[in-house]
């Protein structure tokens, strides 16, 4: 991975959120993604079904057949696989047997990856040992949308959170994490609360456009603890309804569709950064339609390099003045979600 301390790398990481990811389910192994075959996705469906409704046996690691991403063929001098291969051929003979004994696929925890956690480059940062294996399954989640959180991350991005959005659906991913990986993930999500969605409406996808099987088990997700970022007065978009007060802002980079008109306006990472810059530094922001990109870039780099104090001030401002409280139902009768503690994770 490149040196992420240079100014160029800081800007690329801050403005590139939520980062590129394959448009199909994959296994992250040896620091890179390997595409899951359609048969492997079909096998994985059983992980999302109630035990008494699944038509499939519980999947095993030996069912996870993969192949490299098309554009990675011939890279690094690694062998090409004309046909899909098992994980033993990728990770070493006997790997699936040892994992079956110590870390069964059926025991993994399904955690929605609503922002960057479905991107291979972010998984590489969080699981950098090279020995970690994460299965990433595409799903279509109904009645929710992915929106901006009222905070700035340590690496300069305005990250994502989840919000109720009846009538909408979004195509995101579920990461299947071991207990050890969940503890590691928890340590990187300190501004978030870990919750269980008890009755999510979701489908496993064979591809970005094809629903495969309905989810009938709870899913877990990290929800930003303060809520969602409300529409900033400095955000300029062509949407006719962008001026609605107290509305979250959807991530334009995340595919979402459904009700018309959409309940939330949408913005790209660069647009939300420009709006934040205009809010914090009105004298140097340029015009709303033509922000001063040089000064915007300088402020992003400054926030990343200056340490947490200044960033925490910005987060406190956004949480206090530009925040929409959780859009998840707190009705105890419906029990839409429960807050979950992760054993072994420091809070």
Residues 6 or more apart whose Cβ sits within 8 Å of residue 162: 112, 114, 144, 145, 146, 147, 221, 223, 328
Determine, yes or no, domain membership for 42: yes
Determine, yes or no, domain membership for 333: no
* Average pLDDT value for residue range 152-166: 94
Task: Read off the pLDDT of residues 241-283 as tens digits, 9 standing for 90 and up.
Answer: 444 567 899 999 998 887 666 778 899 999 999 999 989 988 8
Residue 98 pLDDT more than 90? Answer: no
Number of domains the chain contains: 1
Q: Supply the CATH number for residue 150's domain.
A: 3.10.490.10
Determine, yes or no, domain membership for 75: yes
* Average pLDDT value for residue range 144-167: 94
Residue 233 pLDDT more than 90? Answer: no
Determine, yes or no, domain membership for 335: no
Q: Is 81 helix (H, G, I), strand (E, B) or coil?
A: coil
Residue 231 pLDDT more than 80? Answer: yes
How many CB atoms lie under 10 A from the CB of residue 300?
A: 23
* Domain boundaries, position 115: 7-326
* Average pLDDT value for residue range 298-314: 93
Q: Which residues pair with 147 in a beta bridge?
A: 161, 250
Residue 158 pLDDT more than 90? Answer: yes
Torsion of CA 142, 145, 146, 149, to 10 degrees: -140
Determine, yes or no, domain membership for 339: no
Residue 24 pLDDT more than 70? Answer: yes
Determine, yes or no, domain membership for 331: no
> Degrees (nearest 5) of the Cα angle 66, 67, 73?
160
pLDDT band at 76 (very low <50, low <70, confident <90, very high): very low
Q: For the chain, what is the mean pLDDT?
A: 83
Q: Is the dihedral of CA 204, 69, 36, 207 positive or negative?
A: positive
Residue 330 pLDDT more than 50? Answer: no
Residue 75 pLDDT more than 60? Answer: no
pLDDT in the model for residue 182:
94
Range from 58-72, 114-128, 279-293 that averages highest in pLDDT: 114-128
Length of the chain: 347
């Amino acid at each position: 991975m490149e040196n992420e301390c240079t100014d160029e790398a800081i800007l690329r990481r801050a403005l590139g959120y939520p980062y590129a990811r394959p448009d199909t389910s994959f296994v992250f192994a040896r620091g890179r993604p390997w595409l899951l075959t359609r048969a492997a996705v079909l096998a994985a469906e059983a992980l999302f079904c109630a035990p008494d409704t699944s038509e499939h046996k519980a999947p095993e690691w030996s069912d996870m057949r993969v192949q490299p991403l098309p554009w990675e063929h011939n890279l690094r001098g690694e062998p090409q696989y004309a046909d899909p291969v098992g994980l033993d051929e990728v990770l070493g003979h006997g790997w699936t047997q040892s994992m079956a004994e110590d870390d069964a696929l059926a025991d993994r925890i399904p955690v929605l990856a609503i922002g960057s956690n479905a991107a291979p480059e972010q998984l590489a940062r969080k699981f950098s040992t090279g020995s970690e294996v994460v299965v990433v399954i595409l799903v279509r989640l109904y009645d929710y949308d992915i929106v901006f959180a009222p905070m700035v991350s340590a690496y300069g991005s305005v990250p994502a959170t989840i919000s109720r959005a009846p009538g909408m659906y979004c195509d995101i991913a579920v990461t299947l994490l071991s207990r050890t990986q969940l503890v590691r993930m928890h340590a990187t999500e300190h501004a978030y609360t870990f919750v269980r969605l008890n009755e999510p409406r979701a489908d496993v996808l064979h591809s970005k456009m094809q629903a495969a099987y309905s989810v009938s088990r709870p899913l877990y997700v990290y929800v930003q603890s303060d809520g969602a970022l409300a529409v900033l007065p400095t955000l300029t978009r062509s949407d006719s309804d962008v001026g609605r007060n107290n509305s979250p802002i959807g991530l334009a980079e995340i595919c979402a569709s459904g009700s018309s008109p959409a309940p939330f306006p949408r913005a790209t990472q660069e647009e939300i950064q420009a709006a934040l810059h205009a809010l914090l530094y009105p004298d140097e922001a340029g015009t709303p339609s033509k922000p001063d990109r040089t000064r915007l870039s300088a402020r992003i780099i400054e926030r990343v390099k200056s340490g947490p104090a200044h960033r925490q001030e910005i987060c406190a401002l956004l949480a206090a003045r530009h925040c929409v409280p959780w859009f998840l139902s707190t009705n105890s009768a419906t029990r839409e979600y429960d807050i979950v503690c992760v054993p072994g994770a420091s809070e």
